[in-house]
Amino acid sequence: MNCNKKNDTNQQTNNQVSLTINAKQITAPDSLSVIQALWHAGYPQVKGVGCLDGVCGSCSVMVRRAGSTELKMALGCQLLVEEGMDVFFSVFDTPSQHSYELSEINTSWDVQSEFRRIFPEAEKCRHCDGCNQACPKGIDVESGVDLAVKGRFHESGELFIACVMCNLCMTGCPEYIDPNHVGLFARRVTGYFHTRPANLINQLEAIRTGELSVDTGEQQP
């Protein structure tokens, strides 16, 4: 799947291609992304909605390329239009079924049991690769879920760093695991219980030992 915008100055070709977007026939230069092709076809630009840079995950699409029956997932802002392509914006109502408060997890010793309570489905992962296939950011989602199930939250969270919460992995999961929310949980608990910035810790320690003084602006008696 080509998810990279072409370099505007060096590789712009401007060949016209015909494709369908949400079943509407559109003609646009092949240097444009799906979103830009919609604008090119006269669809209104709504300002302040979407990042247009592959970060917000709001423009997830399903795409079927010419001559293929396979449906792939992508982000409309990063997918370049091609001749004969069919694109469908995915509008899924996918609220997560999981809710929790980190402040209610008493210590890091409880994280694993809390994870099992909050995400009981995660252990039922079929290792079917569906979430990996669905992810437009190329994240190894399945391994991220597996690491979380094993209690290796730091490593799991690292895998989900590029996640844009587009929810496509949720829609592809036959066990309703909400893999992206597993990843978010892993990142949150890692930050909450384990990793605080080393420079902050060092400075607080220096203040505690008197090595560093802080001017709080308060008048001394």
Q: Which residues of this chain interact with ligand SF4, rule CB under 6 A?
A: 57, 125-131, 134-135, 137, 139, 141-142, 145, 163-169, 172-175, 177, 179-180
Cβ proximity to ligand SF4, 21 vs 173, nearer residue: 173
Cβ proximity to ligand SF4, 36 vs 132, nearer residue: 132
Shortest distance (Å) from residue 179 CB to ligand SF4: 5
Cβ proximity to ligand SF4, 19 vs 73, nearer residue: 73
Shortest distance (Å) from residue 10 CB to ligand SF4: 28
Q: What are phi and psi of 208, to 5 degrees?
A: -60, -40
Shortest distance (Å) from residue 160 CB to ligand SF4: 6
Residues whose CB is less than 8 angstroms from the CB of residue 109 and which lie 6 or more positions away in sequence, other chains included: none
In sequence order, what are the beta bridge partners of 62? 73, 88
From the number of C-beta atoms within 10 Å of its C-beta (0-12, 13-18, 19+), residue 88 rates as middle
Instruction: Tell me how far the alpha carbon of residue 59 is from its chain's centroid.
Output: 12
Spatial distance between the Cα atoms of 164 and 75, rounded to a whole number of angstroms? 10
How many C-alpha atoms does 144 have within 13 Å on its Cβ side? 27
Shortest distance (Å) from residue 49 CB to ligand SF4: 18
Shortest distance (Å) from residue 76 CB to ligand SF4: 13
Residue 184 in tokens: 């978010």
Cβ proximity to ligand SF4, 1 vs 212, nearer residue: 1
Q: What are phi and psi of 75, to 5 degrees?
A: -110, 130
Cβ proximity to ligand SF4, 29 vs 175, nearer residue: 175
Q: Are 178 and 123 in contact (CB under 8 A)?
A: no
